[in-house]
Structure 1
Amino acid sequence: MTGLHLVRLDDFLARRWEDVVDLTLQHLAAVAVSLALATAIGVLIGLLVWDRPVPRAVSLTAAGIAITIPSLALLALLSPVLGLGWAPTIVALVFYSLLPIVRNTVVGLREVPSHLVESAQGMGMTPARVLLSVQLPLAWPVIVTGIRVAAQLTIGIAAIAAYVAGPGLGVYIFRGLSSLGSVNALNFALTGTLCVVLLALLVDGLFVLIARHSTPRGLRV
């Protein structure tokens, strides 16, 4: 019986592989766009608040509270304002990506040894130059880890965006769940789920390479 199910799934994939590839590329595009926006916003917030106790606490608390909002609820709230499709998907993904990026930016900057900062200042560097030339490069490995965590979050949450006609593999998952009992219901749900898992593994591997090649040589483990 198991073999028959595997054959049926193979046949299903053989007939719909172009559709699966298209949905996978849509999923990846939504994740890439939202992650780029979240990285720009999150790192900027981290740079502005890392050494200011009250703004830092407010930013991290707000981001922490935001991530507790159920994704379906957030998408439902966004859709009347932004419509269906890409817009609410991107906004929601950026929303959920901010916490790990802001937090790791703050942590990374705060962990830079103070004597290195003082040495840079003693060489006549301005505070802005010290931040960009010394602190940010040293904090980069921690920041990349936050972006990596955010990427995994967005890949999973992007599947739920099909609830508001969002792009990506969630289309197959929701189609399978909504047609339980039909011939291909399991194939739709299983294909969407497996592709999300594979995509998450590939993106995680990509971030391992990015971290390895973008980290200053002296900081590599």
Structure 2
Amino acid sequence: MQLWDYIGDNARSLTFLTYQHASLSFQTVLVGTLVAIAVAALVYRLPLAAALTLTSSRVALTIPSLALLALLIVPFGLGVTPSFLMLAFFAMLPVIGNAVVGLRSVPPAVVESARGIGLSRWRILLTVELPIAWPVILTGIRVSTQMIVGVAAIVAYVLGPGLGSLIFNGLARLGGANALESALAGTLLIVVIALVFDALLVLLGRLTISKGLS
């Protein structure tokens, strides 16, 4: 009951921090997705470049997020900028892999048919290949979103926005008044954001994926 009392007593600040966390996660996933699809579109027709991109994206996921965040503090200082850049970088990685795999899995016969009716390379990419690859790309976006919503908590270390401040402040004051409730509230709200985003992406998939591809 103390947790619910804490949430009720701090509803305004919790709402603001939740909005910050959700907004930061949404924006970084959006930017990461756009960059990832652009990179995939440039390399998927080149076997060596595609293989290097896939390998690099998988290796880059092993970079400790705190280490990257610390490196970004040097040129950008504390606050939103290093937080955004770190999250956008990690958001991009799962989507790149899925975008390359999805685009390379488009049946060659479909591409040849599109060429046969006179479509340009970029028209084929936009109207044929990307729609066919979209289910695989969307899966990458869902993975990226879940990861980023969780990782976004650590930006509190560099005074970044979001719910991470509740968690780390609570853990730093364990034993003090409302310390545990603060950490639990931050964790619970992050889980809620992750569930809401995933539900919205499932809905997006139902609205945008052709029944023949689902």
State which drifts further: 37-46 or 74-83: 74-83
Please name the residue that 2:186 is paired with: 192
Please name the residue that 2:29 is paired with: 35
Contact 1:160 1:170 in 2 (8 A): yes
Q: Normalized against structure 2, the TM-score is what? A: 0.96
Code of the residue aligned with 1:194 in structure 2: it is L
Please name the residue that 2:87 is paired with: 93
Please name the residue that 2:173 is paired with: 179
Code of the residue aligned with 2:144 in structure 1: it is A
Code of the residue aligned with 1:26 in structure 2: it is Q
Code of the residue aligned with 1:120 in structure 2: it is A
Please name the residue that 1:74 is paired with: 68
Deviation at 1:216, TM superposition (A): 2.4
Contact 1:66 1:95 in 2 (8 A): no
Please name the residue that 1:127 is paired with: 121
Aligned pairs, number = 214
Query: Which digits, 9 at most, give the CA deviation of each residue in 1:78-109, with x for residues without a partner?
Result: 11211111111110111111221111111111
Give the match's secondary structure for 1:218.
coil
Code of the residue aligned with 2:54 in structure 1: it is L
In 1, Cα distance between equivalents of 2:104 and 2:51? 14
Please name the residue that 1:207 is paired with: 201
Code of the residue aligned with 2:51 in structure 1: it is A
Contact 2:167 2:182 in 1 (8 A): yes
Contact 1:67 1:95 in 2 (8 A): no
Q: Is it true that 1:115 corresponds to 2:109 in the alignment?
A: yes
Query: Which digits, 9 at most, give the CA deviation of each residue in 1:134-159, with x for residues without a partner?
Result: 11111111111111111111101001
Code of the residue aligned with 2:33 in structure 1: it is T
Please name the residue that 1:44 is paired with: 38
Please name the residue that 1:162 is paired with: 156
Deviation at 1:202, TM superposition (A): 0.8
Please name the residue that 1:3 is paired with: none
Please name the residue that 1:142 is paired with: 136
State which drifts further: 189-198 or 63-72: 63-72
Contact 2:69 2:83 in 1 (8 A): yes
Code of the residue aligned with 1:42 in structure 2: it is A
Aligned-CA RMSD value: 1.1
Code of the residue aligned with 1:12 in structure 2: it is Y
Please name the residue that 2:53 is paired with: 59
Give the match's secondary structure for 1:219.
coil
Give the match's secondary structure for 1:108.
helix
Code of the residue aligned with 2:85 in structure 1: it is V
Ranges of 4+ aligned residues in structure 1 off by more than 6 Å = none
Q: Normalized against structure 1, the TM-score is what? A: 0.93
Code of the residue aligned with 1:203 in structure 2: it is F
Where in structure 1 are there 5+ consecutive unaligned residues?
1-5
In 2, Cα distance between equivalents of 1:99 and 1:34? 12
In 1, Cα distance between equivalents of 2:42 and 2:36? 10
State which drifts further: 160-169 or 76-85: 76-85
Query: Which digits, 9 at most, give the CA deviation of each residue in 1:136-194, with x for residues without a partner?
Result: 11111111111111111110100111111111010100111111111211001100001
In 1, Cα distance between equivalents of 2:57 and 2:129? 23
Identity over aligned pairs, percent: 47
